[in-house]
Amino acid sequence: MEEEMDFPKVIEFQTHNLCNANCIICPYREIHDIKGFMHADLFERILTEVGDRKILLIPYLNNEPFLDPSYCEKLKMIQERCSNCKIEVSTNLSHLDEKT
């Protein structure tokens, strides 16, 4: 019970830290010297630890999430493995088409 109370109600993480924009409101350009992707094992671990909890997952941060070529696949994995979660995504739309 105590462990459950300590578990976050909201988890925000990014699968990479790339962005193709330069919004004046954003600290992105000042805080990212090293560009890279989250290791698949860490992504797996997040999904496993969240499991069937009813929380909010926000899988982006200071980045454009759809620059990850496997982002749609990752969203599907989150939906399947964390089916009680709400998912929030924000994008600058640059990598979305009608199909996506």
**What is the DSSP code (8-state) at residue 58?**
E
* 89: contact with ligand SF4 by CB under 6 A: no
Three-state SS across 69-99?
A: CCHHHHHHHHHHHCCCCEECCCCCCCCCCCC
Q: Which CB sits closer to ligand SF4, 26 or 89? A: 26
Structure tokens at 48: 């496993």
Stretch that binds ligand SF4, among 7-15, 42-50, 57-65, 81-89 (CB under 6 A): 57-65
Among residues 14, 16, 17, 19, which is the contact residue for ligand SF4, using CB under 6 A?
Answer: 19
Q: Does residue 92 bind ligand SF4 (CB under 6 A)? A: yes
CA distance 62 to 16: 9
Binding residues vs ligand SF4 (CB under 6 A): 19, 21-23, 26, 28, 62-64, 92
